[in-house]
Amino acid sequence: MKKFVLMAGGTGGHLFPAMALAQELARRGHAIELMTDHRVESYGADFPAQAIHVVPAATPSIRNPVKFVSAGFKIVGGIWVAFGMLGKIKPDAVIGFGGYPTFPPFVAASLRGIPGILHEQNAVLGRANKALGRFADILAMSFPDTKFADALNLEKVVTGNPVRDRVRAVAGTPYPPLDGQGPIRLVVFGGSQGARAISEIVPAAVALVPEALRHRLHIVQQCRAEDLDQVAEVYRQAKVNVELATFFDDLPERMARCHLVIGRSGASTIAELCVLGRPAIMVPLPGSIDADQKNNALFLEAAGGGWIAEQATLSPQSLGTRLTDLITNPATLPKAAAAARSLGQLRAVEKLADLAEMLAGKGTTEMEHTP
């Protein structure tokens, strides 16, 4: 039995791949602890860790000098706290999943000489992983051509982005029949936190779908608490069958039953679409550093598994027309579903767990390590 500390930023996009690895390592009989931030309360309920540690962390803003200095103190404090914790836990290896809360504990692990893997979920190397490159032994990547990865001088392995057991359990679900009469199931969500733009545009677009088709729609839509009433009202007026919630714990099962997903293109969203084989209209988060979501979405679109709809040019009219075209053209969606499935990396979690075991097995003395 080995002991691992996983480190992940607090949104679903970082925590869920860490959860997938924790589930696999636990199956293999290893002990796991997690270091993260306070948002673990929202997304970490099923995390199979023996202990969850909230470590001080901050993201420095260059625009505000006061905030920059206070973030610096917080990061140094986080390194100090994590250094103490790691001294007691004594893990054989650490695995970081990106997000600013991974920076202090990963640096602390390196200072203690503990070997470490960084996992990048996106098609573009994130800022925390970029900064942590010199403290790691291996970079595990989800995409073969991860942008900016070449700048890091360390061993690189393409593992794919691990998905949770809950997703793997329904991965074999066949694409549901799409005939001219039955229900058409849509799942709509804006990443782990919801997205206002999706809440504004999707219901208005659905309301423009011709009535005969609209009445066949069964929509499951996640939306932010502050958007719920407005979204419910638009669907009520359009007489659409809809289920709304701020977060669906059973989203993977619902995705497996659906014909089409509309949403953002965060890394786990893309990994799940591929493993489940479901097509998507993807609205990448605009304005994100290095356009990670756009690059994730391009990967699926290039394979024919989905369509990018840029938020800047998206309107209820354009989305309504696209939706109507897709559901009146019965061959298109199953074809895109098959293309998405061909990209699915069901074995990502085993590959990453093998890598973690390999690194833990080598022990700190055998590893060439840069503190």
List of residues contacting ligand UD1 (CB under 6 A): 11-14, 16, 98, 121-122, 189, 191-193, 222, 247-248, 251, 264, 266-269, 272, 285, 288, 292-293
CB of 16 to ligand UD1, least distance (A): 4
CB of 124 to ligand UD1, least distance (A): 9
CB of 225 to ligand UD1, least distance (A): 12
SS3 percent helix, strand, coil of the chain, rounded to 5, is 50, 15, 35
Give how far the C-alpha of residue 100 lies from the chain's centroid of Cα atoms, to the nearest Å.
15
Which amino acid, one-letter code, is at 178? L
Contact 337, 5 (CB under 8 A): no
Judged by CB, which is closer to ligand UD1: 292, or 301? Answer: 292
Q: Is 293 annotated as a binding residue?
A: yes
Strand partners, 260: 186
Report the residue number, 7 or 285, with the smaller CB distance to ligand UD1.
285
Instruction: Give 269's contacts (C-beta < 8 A, 6+ positions apart).
Output: 189, 191, 261, 263, 280, 296
345 is in an annotated binding site: no
Residue 107 CB-half CA count within 13 A: 18
The C-alpha atoms of residue 170 and residue 276 are separated, in whole angstroms, by 7
Q: Which is nearer to ligand UD1, 85 or 222 (CB)?
A: 222
Min dist CB 142 to ligand UD1, Å, is 9
User: Which residue, 32 or 124, is less far from ligand UD1 as judged by CB?
Assistant: 124
Minimum CB separation from ligand UD1 for residue 114, in Å? 23
Q: 182 a known binding residue?
A: no
Nearer to ligand UD1, 83 or 247 (CB): 247
> Residue 363 annotated as binding?
no
Please name the residues in contact with 323: beta carbons below 8 A apart, sequence gap of 6 or more: 205, 206, 209, 281
Q: Is 241 annotated as a binding residue?
A: no
Q: Rounded to 5 degrees, what angle do the CA atoms 83, 77, 67 make?
A: 150
Q: Summarize the annotated binding site as residue ranges.
A: 11-13, 122, 164, 192, 293
Q: Summarize the annotated binding site for UDP-N-acetyl-alpha-D-glucosamine as residue ranges.
A: 11-13, 122, 164, 192, 293
